[in-house]
Structure 1
Amino acid sequence: MHMQATCVFSLRSRHRLAFLAAASLLFAPPAGAAEVKRNDLSAEDITRVEHITRPTTDFSKPERYEAMPGGAATSRNPVNPDAFSHASANLAFSEEENFKLGNALFRKLWVSSPSSTQASDGLGPLFNARACQNCHLKDGRGRPPEGNADATSMFLRLARPARTSEERQAVTDLKVVNFPDATYGAQLQDMAVPGVAAEGRVVITYTEEPVTLAGGEIITLRKPQYSVADLNYGPLGIDTTLSPRIANPMIGMGLIEAIAAADILAKADPDDRDGDGISGRAARARDHRTGELKLGRFGWKAQNASVRDQSSSAFAGDLGISTPDTPRHWGDCTEAQEECRSMQNGVQTRLGNTEAPDPVLDLVTFYSENLAVPARRDVDAPEVLKGKSLFYGAGCIACHTPKYVTRRNAANKAQAFQLIWPYSDFLLHDMGEGLADGQQVGDATGREWRTPPLWGIGLTDEVNGHTFFLHDGRARNLTEAILWHGGEAESARNAFASMTPEARQHLIRFLESL
C-alpha cells in the first residue's frame, strides 16, 4: 500500500460522502462487526484502510509510519517537559493564531466577581482550580495529592444511584447521567472565593497488598480508600458515592474526535458473541448544544461526545465559569448552598450572556483539539520490538486497539484521513471489582471505564514529574497499572504476571516508547 512520506493519506478525493451519523448507529446496534461500514470512504479506500489498520504479526521491525502516532499532526519537537504543548505539525498557518489564543485562555487565571479585570471574573464561587492549566499541568496527566502536592489535578465526583423507576428511566434515556448529591452537587469543591466556605477536602488512605509474579518478583499494590473531611455544608447523602478522577492528558483529542464512529462501534461486542471474554460497550452522550445522542469518546467514563463538550463541562464543574453550552454562572453550587447561588457572577453583558462567552470556548476547544501527539522513541530498539510482540500476544490489543485512519471529512484538515496510533478502542469495559467506583455515569456502570489511549504515556515523568496512572493515580508505575487490571482485562493481566521478569521489562519498555 502506498502512503506519502508525510504519514497522511492524500486529502484530495472525489469520495467525500456524508459522515455516518453516530446516533443512527447507536440506536440500531449492528448484529456483527462486519456489518458496520464507514460511508466517508470509497470501496477502494475501505480496502486500503482495513489493510493498513490490521494488527501486525511481524515484530522483526517497526511498522511503516509507526514512529508518527499522530500522523502528519505528530510533533517532532525535542523531548522535554513541554512535549505535550506543541500544536499539530500540519496545522494551517492561518490557524496558528487561534491555537496561541486558545493556549492563553487555557492558562488564564480566573478571579472572583466583581473585579476590575472584568473579562476574567466569574470564578466559582466554589471551584477546584483557577485555570485549565492548573489541572492539566503542561497539558499532561494529573496526580493524587501526596507529599507536597495539592489536590488541584484530582477531585471527587459525587453521585447517588437512581431511587425510583422514573429516575432509572431518566438515566436509561440519558436525560441525566446520574444524580448529584443534594447538598454538594456533582463534585467536591475544595476551594472557594472570599466570603464562601469551601465544601471540604478529600482524604485518601492506602493499604499495601503484595502480589507475587513469575520468577519470584514481589510487587506491592496500594489500595486506596476515599473519604471527605471538613465538610462545611452538612453531611453527604447516605447513598452518595465518591469517585476520584485525575486529569487526563490533552494530546491528540482532535484526532480522537476524527475517528469514524463506525470504526469504534465495529469493535463493540456487548454480549461477547465471539467468546473471548471481552465485551466492550459503546457509550452514548448527549451533545450539550443540541441534545442529540452521539458516541461518547471523552472522559474516564466516555460521558462526553466532543472536545467542546468536555471543555464546557470542565469550565462549569472545575472553574465555576459559565459558557454558552453550559450556562451555569454558579458552577456546581446547589440550591442548598444559598450563599453561593446569591453571589455576583462575572457576566459582562457587553461581551455576552455568560462568563466565558464566545469566542472563549471556541478558542479553548480549538487549542485542545490541536495539541500534538509526540513522535515515538526507539521504535526499532530490539527490546521495544520484543515488548510490542508480548503486548500483542498477551491480548492487550483486544481493548487497546493500536491504530485507525481518521475520517476524510473531519472538521479540520489537520485531522482528516490520518493514520494514527492511540492504542484504545474508546469503549466501556468492566475492569473488575478492584477498580470499581460504584458510580454509574450514563451508560457506564460502576465497574466500567473507557479504555484510555496510551500514546504519550511513556513521557509522563518527563512532562509531569511523576508516574501515577489509572483513574485515581493509585498505580505508581506502569507495572502496577497493569496488575490492577481485572474483569475483562484479567486474562491479559495474568499473562503479564506469568511472564519472565525479562519479558515483563520488555513489555514495559514498549509502553515507555509510546
Structure 2
Amino acid sequence: MPSSTPPKWQRLKTNIALAAAFAAATPLAALDLASRYQAEPHLSPLPRTDAERARIAAATSPATDFTAPEPFEDLPAGAATVRARTDDEAFSQHSATLSFAQELEFKLGNGLFKKIWVFSPASTKASDGLGPLYNARSCQRCHLKDGRGHVPEQPDYVSASMFLRVSVPGPVPPELQEISDYIGTAPDPVYGTQMQDFSAPGIAPEYRLQVAYEAFEIALNGGETATLRRPSYTAANLGYGPLAEGAMLSPRVAPPMIGLGLLEAIPAADILAHADEEDADGDGISGRANLVWSREFNRILLGRFGLKAGMATVHEQSASAFSGDIGISTPLFPAHAGECTAQQAACQTAQHGGGDSRETEIDQPNMDLVTFYSRNLGVPARRASGDPQVLRGKEVFYAAGCPACHVPKFVTHRLADRPEQSFQLIWPYSDLLLHDMGEGLADNRPEARATGREWRTAPLWGIGLTQQVSPRATFLHDGRARTLLEAVLWHGGEAEAAKSRVVALQPQDRAALIAFLESL
C-alpha cells in the first residue's frame, strides 16, 4: 500500500497560516461573505503572533513517520486530557485543566445534567416543568454516561436516546438570504421540528419510533465478508394525525459529549482553511462549512455542533436540547410548551413550571452551569499508541485518505477568559465540515446549507471507548453500524474511494486499521 498522503495535505499548512493572517489584518467591512463567517462572538481570542503561527503549522502537520507515536499524541485534548478509565465513567471526568473552584462548577453542572425532571405541578419546584411532550427526562438519559445513545429496543421500541427530526420545505428567512445555497425548511405544522415519543398524563405522545433492518453482505479482500444492516424507520401511532405532505424525517442517535469546549475553541479560520467546496485539488473531497443563524448572538455563524453542524455554540446546542428533548424552557428558548405546536391544544394549555419568580423552567445561571459542564467533559488519553499494530493501522488510515476529512490535529485559540481550553494541541480527528456521504447514508433532509446527503465529519477521539461506556451503543448518525468496520463500510460519496481502499486491504491491514481506531 502506498504511504503517500492525500494531495490536500500539501497545502493545508499554508492555507491555515494565510487564513489567520488575512483575518487578523483585514477590517471586517472589507471581508467578503465567506470571511465574515469567521466571526466568533462566543470567544475572546488573543491574536496569534507570527512565531505562534509557525509553531502551530509545524505541530499540526500531517504524520509522515509511522514507526513511533508523534509528540503529544497520547494527549488528545492537550493538557486537558484525562486518564483512560476502564469502567463506564470514562467519558464523565472533568477536564484536567480545571481549577479547584471550577471543579465545583463542573459538579453542579453535572447535577443539572443528570436531574430527573417531573411534571407540573410538583412539590419539587426546582425540578418541575417536564414536557408536556418530551424524548427524555434528563440530559443523561439521551447521552448515556455522557456517551452515545442507542437504537430502540424491540418489541416495544422504547428509547430515550434516539428520535426523528422532521421538517417540510419552506422559504429562506430574510436574515439568511445572503447565503445563496441556504436551503429553506420549516417545521411540520403539527409536529414541529422533532418527534417526541413521551408525554404528560392526559396528553397524547406524538408517535412511536419503529426501526427495521435488512441485512446484506459485502465481500472484502482476503476472503472476508461483513454483514451490514440497512435500516428503515417508521413514525408509527401518530397522535395528532398525518405528517404534512413533503415531511422529511431524519433519525438521530445522541452523540458523545466529550471535548465540546475544545471544539468550540478551534479558530474558525483554521476550520475554513480545510474547506474545498469546488474540489480545487481534484481529490474528490470538498468539505463545506455549514452556516447557521445563531439565536444566541442574532447573526450568522459557523456551525460546529450537531450531526449536520446545525448549531454554532455549546450553549445554544444545550438550550435547544432542553427545549426539544425535555420540554424545559430556557432564556434562549422560552416557550414553556417546548416543541408543542399551535395544533396541539392540550399541550399548549398544560400546566408548566414557569411563572412568578421563575420566568423559565431553568434560569440562566443554571444554564451557564450546564454549559460549563458540557464544555469540560474530558477526553480520555490514548491507549497503546506505540503498539506496532496500532502504528500500522495509523499508516493505513493515512494511506486510505481518511485524514482528508478526519483531520487529526488543531490548536485552539489563546483565550484569556477560558484558560481551561486555551492554546491546546488537540486531536479530534474531524474537520467539523460537511461532506456528501453518499446515498446509503442520506437522510434526504436538509439543514441550513447541509443537503440531505451531507453530514458533519464525526470527531473520532474516544471512539474506542464507546461500547465500554455504553455496551448497547452503536455507530453512525442512526446507530446502524454495530462495529467500527461496519461504520467504515457505510461510507460513500466523497468517502467512496477511501472505503474502497479499506475493502481492498489485506485482512491484517484491515485489522490494524480497526486497532488504530480503537486506540483513539
Distance change (3 Å), C-alpha of 1:293 and 1:170: closer
Q: State the one-letter code of the partner of 1:426.
A: L
Which of 397, 401, 405 lines up with 1:391 in the alignment? 397
Letter in 2 for 1:458: G
Q: Is 1:198 the counterpart of 2:210 in the alignment?
A: no
Whether the 8 Å contact between 2:46 and 2:415 is mirrored in structure 1 is: no
**Distance in structure 1 (CA, Å) of the matches to 2:61 and 2:221:** 32
CA distance in structure 1 between the aligned counterparts of 2:376 and 2:382, rounded to whole angstroms: 18
1:506 equivalent to 2:506? Answer no
1:82 Cα deviation from its structure 2 partner: 0.1
CA distance in 2, matches of 1:421, 1:23: 34
Measure the CA separation in 1 of the matches of 2:258 and 2:32.
27
1:105 to 112, 116, 133: 112
Q: Give the secondary structure class of the aligned counterpart of 1:119.
A: helix
Name the SS of the counterpart of 1:135 in structure 2. Answer: coil
Match of 1:146 in 2: 153
Q: 1:270 aligns with which of 277, 294, 304?
A: 277
Distance between the aligned counterparts of 2:231 and 2:29, measured in 1?
38
2:410 aligns with one of 404, 409, 414: 404
The more displaced of 145-154 and 391-400 is 145-154
For residue 155 of structure 1, give the secondary structure of its aligned residue in structure 2.
strand
Pairwise CA distance, 1:57: 0.5
Q: Are 2:458 and 1:457 aligned?
A: no
2:90 paired residue among 83, 98, 106 = 83
Partner of 1:305: 312
Identity %: 54
Tell me: CA distance 1:176–1:215, structure 2 relative to 1, closer, same or farther (3 Å): closer
1:437 aligns with 2:448: no
**TM-score normalised according to structure 2 size:** 0.90
What TM-score, normalized by structure 1, do the two folds share?
0.91
1:11 match: none
- Determine the structure 1 residue equivalent to 2:17: none
Deviation at 1:286, TM superposition (A): 2.2
Q: 1:295 aligns with which of 287, 298, 302?
A: 302
Task: Please tell me the residue identity of whatever aligns with 1:123.
Answer: L
Query: Closer, same or farther in 2 for the Cα pair 1:176/1:346, shift >3 Å?
Result: farther
Amino acid at match of 2:430: S
Deviation at 1:205, TM superposition (A): 1.2
Matches within 5 A, 1:87-486: 87-147=94-154, 150-162=158-170, 166-167=171-172, 172=177, 178-350=185-357, 352-409=358-415, 411-486=417-492
Once the two structures are superposed, residues 303-350 of structure 1 have per-residue CA deviations (whole angstroms, 9 ceiling, x without a partner) of 101100110110000001110111111111011101100112111432
Moved more, 171-180 or 87-96: 171-180
Question: Could you report, residue by residue, the CA deviation over 1:125-160 in whole angstroms, capped at 9, with x for unpaired residues?
Answer: 000000000000100001111358732110000111
Contact 1:111 1:122 (8 Å CA) reproduced: yes
Q: Distance in 2 between matches of 1:418 and 1:119?
A: 37
Give 1:78 deviation, angstroms.
2.7
User: Matched residues in 1 for 2:276 and 2:203: separation?
Assistant: 48
Q: Which moved more, 1:282-291 or 1:413-422?
A: 282-291
Q: In the alignment, is the contact (CA less than 8 A) between 2:84 and 2:90 conserved in 1?
A: yes
CA-to-partner distance for each residue in 1:187-242, whole Å, 9 max, x for gaps?
A: 11100011111111111111112110111211111101111111111111121111
Deviations 1:50-88 (A, max 9, x none): 001001100000011100101000001532110000000
- 2:32 and 2:326 map into 1 onto residues whose CA distance is 32
**How much has 1:478 moved relative to structure 2?**
0.5
Which structure 2 residue ranges, 5 or more long, are not aligned? 1-22, 37-44
In structure 1, distance between residues paired with 2:93 and 2:433:
28
Give, in whole Å, the separation in 2 of the partners of 1:255 and 1:23. 29
The residue type equivalent to 1:53 in the other structure is T
C-alpha spacing 1:114/1:97, structure 2 compared with 1 (3 Å)? same
Q: CA deviation at 1:28?
A: 3.0
Shift of 1:488: 0.4
Aligned Cα RMSD in Å?
Answer: 2.3
Q: Which amino acid aligns with 1:280?
A: G
Tell me how far 1:29 sits from its aligned partner. 4.7
Offset, 1:172 = 4.5
Q: Which amino acid aligns with 1:50?
A: A
The one-letter code matched in structure 2 to 1:154 is: M
Query: Contact 2:91 / 2:258 at 8 angstroms: preserved in 1?
Result: yes
Greater displacement, 249-258 / 153-162? 153-162
The letter for the 2-side match of 1:196 is I
Aligned partners of 1:172 and 1:443 also within 8 Å: no
The one-letter amino acid of 2:152's match is P
Cα–Cα, structure 1 residues 26 and 160, in superposed 2: closer, same or farther, change >3 Å? farther
Equivalent residues of 1:20, 1:261 under 8 A apart: no
Change (3 A) 1:177 1:310: farther
State the distance in 1 between where 2:273 and 2:159 align.
Answer: 38
User: Is the contact between residue 148 and residue 473 of structure 2 (CA under 8 Å) also seen in structure 1?
Assistant: no
Number of corresponding residues: 488
- 1:209 and 1:431 map into 2 onto residues whose CA distance is 19
* Deviation of 1:40 (Å): 2.3
Query: Is the Cα contact below 8 Å between 2:131 and 2:327 reproduced in 1?
Result: yes
> Structure 1 pair 21/95, CA: closer, same or farther in 2 (3 Å)?
farther
CA contact (8 A) 2:436 2:454 kept: yes
Q: CA deviation at 1:360?
A: 1.4
Report the Cα distance in structure 2 between the residues aligned to 1:466 and 1:476, rounded to whole angstroms: 9
Q: Distance in 2 between matches of 1:412 and 1:272?
A: 36
